[in-house]
């Protein structure tokens, strides 16, 4: 695979872009994404305050900012949510923030002005203007009680939030041969138990998944099913042993 130009937005599937950057000092990389669907766009896990200028530049390079209708955030952490008020300043009114109602209770403390779209109260899906639907998959306690993943049936990308993430200073945009170990280390410490993890992995059984796009670590293109099976069988909750 040709080495991608990490200074630009990278199209990971038709109309879907990675809009993060090569944050060399960070072991825990953050991955924002945007889906462009005709004249509408959906921003996923937009990022933190220090990341905002770079992410905004990349988002603006692929879409007219006024076309962003929705920001999806898988949970309330500052590394994916803190920039939402900054985006609101430049995107203007008409924006909504899609998340679980449990996460919304905490996310409102960032000082948002946009209304929430509670995924758990809207049939676990979001319908775009074109009729295209994004599906939400509940992943409770991984690592937040209201955490969820987003699945796009058109590109077959699973935007997995913290799940399938990894902590590693040796980073590449697409997962390589060492990714499995980095992913396991992150989950062993960050996720509560194998039983809880396995329940979420079971929900992915019936889905056709071409690519897993996590909020941390690298994008998994090669044999996503293998990584699902690794997590299904992984012993977690290592901090319980300290």
The minimum distance between CB 99 and Fe ion, in angstroms, equals 13
Please give the residue whose beta carbon sits closest to Fe ion in the complex.
77
Assess 162 for contact with Fe ion (CB under 5 A).
yes
The minimum distance between CB 208 and Fe ion, in angstroms, equals 26
Give me the count of residues in the chain: 242
The minimum distance between CB 74 and Fe ion, in angstroms, equals 8
Residue 108 or 223: which CB sits closer to Fe ion? Answer: 108
Residue 186 or 227: which CB sits closer to Fe ion? Answer: 186
Tokens of 209: 């998944």
Q: Is 135 buried (19+), middle (13-18) or exposed (0-12) by CB count in 10 A?
A: middle
**Distance between CA atoms of residues 172 and 161, nearest Å:** 18
Contacts of 224 (CB under 8 A, 6+ apart): 158, 209, 210, 211, 212
Stretch that binds Fe ion, among 127-135, 148-156, 210-218, 227-235 (CB under 5 A): 210-218
- Alpha helix locations (H) across 63-173? 78-81, 84-91, 101-107
The minimum distance between CB 45 and Fe ion, in angstroms, equals 8
Assess 88 for contact with Fe ion (CB under 5 A).
no
Residue 63 or 87: which CB sits closer to Fe ion? Answer: 87
CA distances from 169 to 22, 166, 197 (A): 11, 10, 25
- Given 77, 126, 139, 150, the residue binding Fe ion (CB under 5 A): 77
CA distances from 40 to 117, 160, 210, 238 (A): 17, 22, 23, 42
Stretch that binds Fe ion, among 48-56, 75-83, 100-108, 150-158 (CB under 5 A): 75-83
Assess 45 for contact with Fe ion (CB under 5 A).
no
Question: What x-and-dash track marks residues 91-130 binding Fe ion by CB under 5 A?
Answer: ----------------------------------------
**Distance between CA atoms of residues 51 and 214, nearest Å:** 17
Q: Is 50 buried (19+), middle (13-18) or exposed (0-12) by CB count in 10 A?
A: exposed
Binding positions for Fe ion, rule: CB under 5 A: 77, 162, 215
């Amino acid at each position: 695979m040709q080495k991608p130009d990490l200074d630009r937005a990278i199209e990971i599937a038709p109309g879907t872009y990675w809009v993060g950057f090569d944050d060399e000092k960070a072991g825990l990389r953050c991955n924002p994404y945007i889906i462009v669907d005709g004249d509408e766009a959906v921003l996923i896990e937009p990022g933190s305050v220090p990341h905002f200028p770079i992410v905004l530049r990349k988002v603006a390079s692929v879409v007219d900012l006024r076309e962003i209708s929705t920001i999806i955030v898988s949970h309330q952490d500052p590394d994916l949510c803190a920039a939402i008020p900054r985006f609101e300043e430049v995107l203007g009114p008409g924006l909504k923030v899609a998340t679980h109602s449990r996460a919304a209770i905490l996310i409102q403390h960032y000082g948002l002005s946009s209304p929430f779209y509670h995924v758990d109260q809207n049939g676990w899906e979001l319908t775009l203007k074109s009729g295209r639907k994004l599906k939400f998959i509940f992943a409770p306690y991984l690592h937040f009680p209201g955490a969820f993943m987003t699945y796009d049936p058109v590109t077959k990308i699973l935007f997995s939030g913290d799940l399938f993430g990894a902590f590693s200073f040796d980073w590449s945009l697409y997962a390589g041969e060492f990714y499995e170990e980095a992913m396991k280390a992150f989950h062993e410490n960050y996720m509560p138990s194998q039983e809880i993890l396995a329940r979420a992995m079971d929900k992915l059984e019936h889905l056709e998944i071409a690519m897993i796009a996590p909020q941390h670590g690298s994008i998994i293109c090669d044999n996503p099913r293998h990584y699902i099976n690794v997590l299904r069988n992984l012993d977690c909750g290592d901090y319980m042993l300290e």
